[in-house]
Amino acid sequence: MQNNNSALDAADTAQRHKETNLRRLLNPASIAVVGASADPSKAGSQALRSLNGFPGRVVAVHPRESVIQGRHCYPTFADILEPVDLAILAIPAQHCIQAARDAAASGVGGIFIISGGFGESGAAGARLQEELADICRASGMRLLGPNTSGFINPQKQCVASFVPGVDQLPKGRIAVIAQSGGVNLSIAFQIQRLREGISLAVGLGNAVDVEAADVLSMLASDPNTTAIALHLEGVPQGRKLFEVLSTVTRLKPVVALVAGRSDIGEFAVSHTGNLMGSYQRTASALTQAGAVVVDSTEELAQAASILAHRRLPPKARNGFALVTGQAGPGLLIIDGLKTAGLDVPELASATIEKVQSLLPPMTFVKNPVDTGRPGPGFTQVLSAVAADDRIDAVFVYALHEPAVLDPSAAISPAVNREKKPVIFGTLGTQEDLQPVLEQLVRAGIPAVLGPERLVLAGKVLDADSRGQWRLKKSSFTSPIAGDTATLANTLNEDQAKAFIASYGIRTPQRKFCIGKNEAIEAFKALTKPVVVKIAADDVPHKTEVGGVFLGIQDLQSLSSALAAIERIPTKTPGQFLVEEMAPLGVELIVGAVNDSSWGPCVVIGLGGVLAEAVSDSSVRLAPISELDAADMLEGLRGKKLLDGFRNLPVCDRSAIADVAVKIGQILIDHPEIAEIEINPLRVNAEGAVALDALVVLKNQQETTS
Amino acid sequence: MQNNNSALDAADTAQRHKETNLRRLLNPASIAVVGASADPSKAGSQALRSLNGFPGRVVAVHPRESVIQGRHCYPTFADILEPVDLAILAIPAQHCIQAARDAAASGVGGIFIISGGFGESGAAGARLQEELADICRASGMRLLGPNTSGFINPQKQCVASFVPGVDQLPKGRIAVIAQSGGVNLSIAFQIQRLREGISLAVGLGNAVDVEAADVLSMLASDPNTTAIALHLEGVPQGRKLFEVLSTVTRLKPVVALVAGRSDIGEFAVSHTGNLMGSYQRTASALTQAGAVVVDSTEELAQAASILAHRRLPPKARNGFALVTGQAGPGLLIIDGLKTAGLDVPELASATIEKVQSLLPPMTFVKNPVDTGRPGPGFTQVLSAVAADDRIDAVFVYALHEPAVLDPSAAISPAVNREKKPVIFGTLGTQEDLQPVLEQLVRAGIPAVLGPERLVLAGKVLDADSRGQWRLKKSSFTSPIAGDTATLANTLNEDQAKAFIASYGIRTPQRKFCIGKNEAIEAFKALTKPVVVKIAADDVPHKTEVGGVFLGIQDLQSLSSALAAIERIPTKTPGQFLVEEMAPLGVELIVGAVNDSSWGPCVVIGLGGVLAEAVSDSSVRLAPISELDAADMLEGLRGKKLLDGFRNLPVCDRSAIADVAVKIGQILIDHPEIAEIEINPLRVNAEGAVALDALVVLKNQQETTS
């Protein structure tokens, strides 16, 4: 017991040591550069030059030189007497191992390796990379990279990068964590163009030691950071990222961009050595953890800059209003918001009356409010709209017309009184707009250029608010009771159904029969009509071999069905499943899979070949709550089919949700299961019944694949 | 005959007169402003001020003043002795009619009306608008608006607008035609921000007289315009626009943005009085006419600026290559291109060898070429890639690093030798990049900011090239022979099938039977199994009333089917259709509808409720070619189902295309048809059979709705 405690204490201390070293790496007081050079085209030369503005101590490590770029050189780490927080290694891969060992031995907090030639380049590089990981594990020293352009910490005036211009990135409240150094800088430069600043911008590269979850964790308590922009290229330890992200998004907004919608695996491996994994699983997991997933670096920068200003509180659905001086752009904005599925509620009648009293007759005022060319009443109109209880955030669009509208003067009263986000969209010539935008920054009013950026603002504010709401509301009931004994052997259909039934999932009345006589007895005992299926251990796809006979009403049909099944070749002949027919309904597929990175994932899809062909399914990490499951159903493109479409019955959505929750629980209780699938789950207004069930164990998967 | 000719001549002369007057309106030598004012917040005051840079003659029309803003005032149009090309009316709606009459009487080329209060504001305004249209029709004078912020013609230094700053829009090669004045300016300002210029930017407003097709037509021969950005909010005369656009896109690229994805009808009507129509039909028709349809004003501006530089020649599929200095952004670019379905072919082996010889080992060079931090070989790498026959356009991405890469020096050799488009994507601080971007403009190399803009460039270049290719390749065979006699009466299923069969569409062997005896005779004569259906004139939805019996093999089943059908209430009892069962296959819906704006449109969709629920269908204007039909099938999200998915047969795509072509021809031959639908069309490797057909005549539609 005591031993155990001290082991735990040791692990805890090691973890705290690693966290401290990560802070030293990314907020250094002293830096050493290895591989500094006088040749300006060399990364090492630029890396040293980039530190010119750094107020802390900078030294170089060089075997022969004594001074480079005016910095004192030491022959080895051991010769540096003062502690070094960060060592930048601008040397070829093969020399990095010894340098890392030396740094660790000298108590360096963390190193950052610029060069490639590691895991992304083949087996020899992967071995070098493994050696680096070993050094970090043993010493607690942290490693950023290898194979990255580094990081910028404008708060500490620390530019640990070899790319010029990054020292001009302004200090601000957005943190960037990118898999790729190049993407890190691409995002940071775009944030600058949006008149926002950076609190920290990190390119992880091969992420041998420091990975996204570590930096996220650190930033959760960083007072300088109010929003985080995250870029991922494949996530080796998904479950860890999910857990960290779920905590961080409760505290501050995270926007995420994930590469890998299409098949880019070969090039991706050549880049960081990461496998891309499933885009759908990654994007779904990040959303489930409360992040806002976007489609481009442009959207990432814009979304982070909107959320860095202010996020909406947790809410299931937010109401958005638009006040616009030009109807045409207004139409594009409303069209975009509605196409994205956002609420643009009609204003309350009191608001409409108030607004009507302020504007000329015949103006459209229900929402949007189309003021026409802004007049003196614009400020009051805006305040009235912002005061409406149905409205959580207000967008304003007006072209630059200083003679009729001063945006910050017009918007500030509404913001100050109603405490709701008001975001201004505009356009004009670059020269004309510059002072207006600067004034808006000073007034604390976020501004975007062009109508569609307001649509993006709506999507992002709403997604972040809904994400927080889901995290708050998702409650997990006490573990569902079920058969938790470890499964060792393949389950046939009857056994698989009994297994899921133990978790409370409905299955049809049925009888597993050996020999025709048992089948005839079963037929007599069950409610007609029945379905008769082959029950062979070696025939997983029963329909495709003609082993399923539906609607058996009489003994004659039963007997021909049994005869037909007996003709199908199998190692276990003469086994039948006789089962009552389920009532008609809509068919879904509910399953779960144990992903190597994300762990147990629940999948809900509509049944049928078209749903399969268009990949109409929703994924969440298990455990899922009823709320998550309901959200998954909302995510199906063909969700109309659940609500009485054409001649189909209205489906009991909570029954589907209940099955999905239980399927998730099964995978958590049974790590030996690789995959489980109910296909089809037959659903109508009375509930959901599993018509077939398949359980694949990990050991099975390994032997068959 | 002579009368006819002279009537034609007169119409021709009137048309030429109108075209001349449109040119006078948009390229004026002299301008009169009505409603000029000294109050700077008034549109009329700003409108006059905006003309300060106009080199031609500017006068004001005012009943009392003699000079406003230093311009000479005339009391009426009649008092102005010199010809006036353009009159700007900055006066309230109710005064516009008289002013328009006076202008027309004085031979003004065209007028532009700023104010609203016309068709968008209700019945009274609609009457005023109709009066304006009458004046234009009678006189040939043109009218821009009403209800718009006007136009800018930088070529003529003519700023006919009341929005400040627009006089600073630089002269250039992109024309903007927007439904809305506010969108017109929003697009124009975004083009300026992309370092491009404007040849003409027009906001159409209510488009009572001058509409998009007129301006497109004029711009087709405008030497200053190399690309056109088009914004639409609902198209009242779609077929006319389609015809004009199909001609213009052969000469220069057109990029289009259409409002109305979601239901924004009420607000839209309040804006311009236009009904929005079907977004799908509008977007499909524009694409079919060779335009590139995009999703936002940002994309519109960026796409136009890329195409204004250079378009790719007509081609079915283009190959794109990427040379990147940073792998991470490269991954995002390749991911985006592939997700958009574009070709990123592996480079030819000779190219790969050449590139490998120029770069360090272990670099990814198949496509993309990941050079790593650019080195001296970058220019040669790029030239080698551009020389590859598989590649039609090359993208380059590199962060701003002047020490290692001079973009215009690196790119120019490849551009000059290979004559293929090379587009550069980059990022850096605003200040650092400015000179580089200016240098690239001078070198004639288009540059974009950020990885995803290169993806957009790929989509746009490819869509424009494919659009040209389709217009070139779409050949229409001589009219298909069929029953062209005008249909006067409702067709029952048998008649509808006979009608489509006259156009060569396959239908099952069948017999329309009156009374049970005829049905029994038909059963005996046809190949078994058969299907028996109710054939009542007043029962269009046969399945839903239980009026369809499949798989009838014997007389006993036949007789119970007939008995069941006889129990269904109808005005025409005792009528049956007995039909041979078609072989199994995939079911589609092929139909055509006569749209009030676009005319005959062909629709292809997959069968089944899910396809309906997710609206998985393709639309084209008839007539369509086999190529168009093949393209429609490619546009179905569930297209996998046609190619042997799961247990489904491989479908004969050309048989589906043939049916679609013929259905289109039917609607052209029969203007009396409102709608025709084959549902389902059963398809397998042997061909396509129409299992049901429905013809709705216009007179029927009117009486039933």
Distance from CA of B433 to the nearest CA of A (A): 10
Distance from CA of B22 to the nearest CA of A (A): 23
Query: In the numeric block, which tokens belong to residue B15?
Result: 């048309």
Q: Which residue of chain B is at minimal alpha-carbon distance from A179? A: B328
Phi and psi at B317, nearest 5°, equal -145, 135
> A425 near A411, Cβ under 8 Å?
no
Q: Which residue of chain A is at minimal alpha-carbon distance from B452? A: A296
> A233 near A260, Cβ under 8 Å?
yes
Q: Are B193 and A449 an interchain contact pair (Cβ–Cβ within 8 Å)?
A: yes
On chain A, the residues whose CB falls within 8 A of the CB of B453 are 298
Q: Are B180 and A432 an interchain contact pair (Cβ–Cβ within 8 Å)?
A: no
Least confident of B275-289, B325-339, B657-671: B275-289
Q: Mutate which of B152, B272, B332 to disrupt the A interface (most A C-beta within 10 Å)? A: B332
Q: Are A332 and B296 an interchain contact pair (Cβ–Cβ within 8 Å)?
A: yes
> A616 near A604, Cβ under 8 Å?
no
Say how far apart CA B606 and CA B618 lie, in whole Å.
10
How do residues A208-223 score in pLDDT, each as one tens digit?
999 999 999 999 999 9
Say how far apart CA A325 and CA A435 lie, in whole Å.
20
Torsion angle of alpha carbons B530, A551, A689, A679, nearest 10°?
A: -60
Q: Are A271 and B231 an interchain contact pair (Cβ–Cβ within 8 Å)?
A: no
CA end-to-end distance (rounded Å), chain B: 43
How do residues B197-206 score in pLDDT, each as one tens digit?
999 999 999 9
Sign of the Cα torsion A374, A375, A377, A379 reads positive
β-pair type (B320-324, B369-370):
parallel
On chain A, the residues whose CB falls within 8 A of the CB of B282 are none
CB neighbourhood size of B573 (10 A):
13
SS3 label, residue A677: strand
**Statement: residue A702 has pLDDT above 60:** no
- pLDDT at residue A120, rounded to an integer: 83
Over residues A258-286, mean pLDDT: 82
Torsion angle of alpha carbons B398, B401, B402, B408, nearest 10°?
A: 10
Q: Are A368 and B267 an interchain contact pair (Cβ–Cβ within 8 Å)?
A: yes
- pLDDT at residue B705, rounded to an integer: 39
Least confident of A511-520, A644-653, B32-41, B433-442: B32-41
Site of tokens 């499933």 = A278
Residues in chain A: 705
Name residue A32's amino acid: A
Q: Are A163 and B401 an interchain contact pair (Cβ–Cβ within 8 Å)?
A: yes
Query: In the numeric block, which tokens belong to residue A234?
Result: 């494949």
Distance from CA of B129 to the nearest CA of A (A): 16
Q: Are B609 and A648 an interchain contact pair (Cβ–Cβ within 8 Å)?
A: yes
Over residues A339-364, mean pLDDT: 94
**Statement: residue A704 has pLDDT above 50:** no
**Statement: residue A427 has pLDDT above 50:** yes
**Statement: residue A3 has pLDDT above 70:** no
Over residues B231-259, mean pLDDT: 96
> Smallest Cα–Cα separation from A308: which of A446, A116, A431?
A446
Residue B702 pLDDT grade (very low, low, confident, very high; cuts 50, 70, 90):
low
**Statement: residue A1 has pLDDT above 60:** no
Over residues B6-16, mean pLDDT: 88
**Inter-chain Cβ pairs, chain A and chain B, closer than 8 A:** 296
Q: Are B638 and A116 an interchain contact pair (Cβ–Cβ within 8 Å)?
A: no
Q: Helix axis angle, B93-105 relative to B123-139, nearest 10°?
A: 10
- pLDDT at residue B699, rounded to an integer: 85
Sign of the Cα torsion B464, B469, B472, B473 reads negative
Q: Which residue of chain B is at minimal alpha-carbon distance from A453? A: B298
How do residues A658-692 score in pLDDT, each as one tens digit?
999 999 999 999 999 999 999 999 999 999 999 99
- pLDDT at residue B102, rounded to an integer: 96
How do residues A463-480 score in pLDDT, each as one tens digit?
999 999 999 987 776 668
Say how far apart CA A683 and CA B267 lie, in whole Å.
40
Give me the residue from A185, A330, A452 closest to B427, CB to CB. Answer: A185
Residue B621 pLDDT grade (very low, low, confident, very high; cuts 50, 70, 90):
very high
Q: Are B331 and A403 an interchain contact pair (Cβ–Cβ within 8 Å)?
A: no
Say how far apart CA A216 and CA B617 lie, in whole Å.
44
On chain B, the residues whose CB falls within 8 A of the CB of A325 are 182
Over residues A625-637, mean pLDDT: 94
Q: Are A399 and B40 an interchain contact pair (Cβ–Cβ within 8 Å)?
A: no
Give me the residue from B263, B403, B608 closest to A40, CB to CB. Answer: B403
Query: In the numeric block, which tokens belong to residue B487?
Result: 């249909």
SS3 label, residue A469: helix
Say how far apart CA A35 and CA A33 lie, in whole Å.
6
- pLDDT at residue B404, rounded to an integer: 87
In which element (H, E) is residue A219 found?
helix A212-220
Phi/psi region, residue B287 (left: phi>0; alpha: psi -120 to 50; beta: rest), is alpha
Q: Are A328 and B608 an interchain contact pair (Cβ–Cβ within 8 Å)?
A: no
Say how far apart CA B265 and CA B231 lie, in whole Å.
17
Beta bridge partners, A324, equal A370, A397
Distance from CA of B469 to the nearest CA of A (A): 26
Write down the ipTM of this complex: 0.95
**Statement: residue B701 has pLDDT above 70:** no
Over residues A479-487, mean pLDDT: 87
Q: Are A610 and B638 an interchain contact pair (Cβ–Cβ within 8 Å)?
A: yes
Phi and psi at A280, nearest 5°, equal -60, -45
Q: Are B614 and A368 an interchain contact pair (Cβ–Cβ within 8 Å)?
A: no
Over residues B575-586, mean pLDDT: 94
* DSSP single-letter state for residue B643: B
On chain B, the residues whose CB falls within 8 A of the CB of A182 are 325-330, 399
Q: Are A297 and B332 an interchain contact pair (Cβ–Cβ within 8 Å)?
A: yes
Q: Which residue of chain B is at minimal alpha-carbon distance from A432? A: B165
Say how far apart CA B40 and CA B48 lie, in whole Å.
10
Q: For chain A, how big is the Rg over CA atoms in Å?
A: 31
Beta bridge partners, B198, equal B174
- pLDDT at residue B541, rounded to an integer: 81
**Statement: residue B79 has pLDDT above 60:** yes
- pLDDT at residue A612, rounded to an integer: 86
**Statement: residue A290 has pLDDT above 60:** yes
How do residues B492-530 score in pLDDT, each as one tens digit?
899 999 999 999 999 999 999 999 999 999 999 999 999
Cα B78 from chain centroid (whole Å): 43
> Smallest Cα–Cα separation from A56: which of A36, A28, A82, A33?
A28
Over residues A119-140, mean pLDDT: 93
Query: In the numeric block, which tokens belong to residue B510?
Result: 């069948």
**Statement: residue B114 has pLDDT above 50:** yes
**Statement: residue A638 has pLDDT above 80:** yes
- pLDDT at residue A705, rounded to an integer: 39
Name residue A68's amino acid: I
How do residues A206-263 score in pLDDT, each as one tens digit?
999 999 999 999 999 999 999 999 999 989 999 999 999 999 999 999 999 999 998 8
B383 or A162: which leads in pLDDT: B383
**Statement: residue A156 has pLDDT above 80:** yes
Distance from CA of A262 to the nearest CA of B (A): 5
**For B622, what's the count of Cα atoms within 13 Å in the CB-facing half-sphere?**
29
Q: For chain B, how big is the Rg over CA atoms in Å?
A: 31
> B65 near B73, Cβ under 8 Å?
yes
Residue A363 pLDDT grade (very low, low, confident, very high; cuts 50, 70, 90):
confident
Give me the residue from A168, A184, A428 closest to B165, CB to CB. Answer: A428
Q: What percent of chain A has pLDDT over 70?
A: 97
Q: Mutate which of A148, A162, A331, A651 to disrupt the B interface (most B C-beta within 10 Å)? A: A331
Distance from CA of A81 to the nearest CA of B (A): 34
On chain A, the residues whose CB falls within 8 A of the CB of B40 are 403
What is each CA distance from B250 to A526, B335, B471, in whole angstroms? Answer: 71, 31, 8
Residue B704 pLDDT grade (very low, low, confident, very high; cuts 50, 70, 90):
very low
On chain A, the residues whose CB falls within 8 A of the CB of B270 are 327, 364, 370
What mean pLDDT is reported for chain A?
93
**Statement: residue B44 has pLDDT above 70:** yes
Beta bridge partners, A227, equal A174
Site of tokens 């890190």 = A184
Query: In the numeric block, which tokens belong to residue A403?
Result: 């003679």
Say how far apart CA B542 and CA B536 lie, in whole Å.
9
> B274 near B634, Cβ under 8 Å?
no
A3 or B388: which leads in pLDDT: B388
Distance from CA of B669 to the nearest CA of A (A): 33
Give me the residue from A261, A403, A646 closest to B41, CB to CB. Answer: A403
On chain A, the residues whose CB falls within 8 A of the CB of B429 are 165, 168-169, 189, 192
**Statement: residue A52 has pLDDT above 60:** yes
Q: Are A329 and B297 an interchain contact pair (Cβ–Cβ within 8 Å)?
A: yes
Q: Are A328 and B183 an interchain contact pair (Cβ–Cβ within 8 Å)?
A: yes
Q: Which residue of chain B is at minimal alpha-carbon distance from A646? A: B609
> Smallest Cα–Cα separation from B254: which of B222, B229, B234?
B229
Beta bridge partners, A174, equal A198, A227
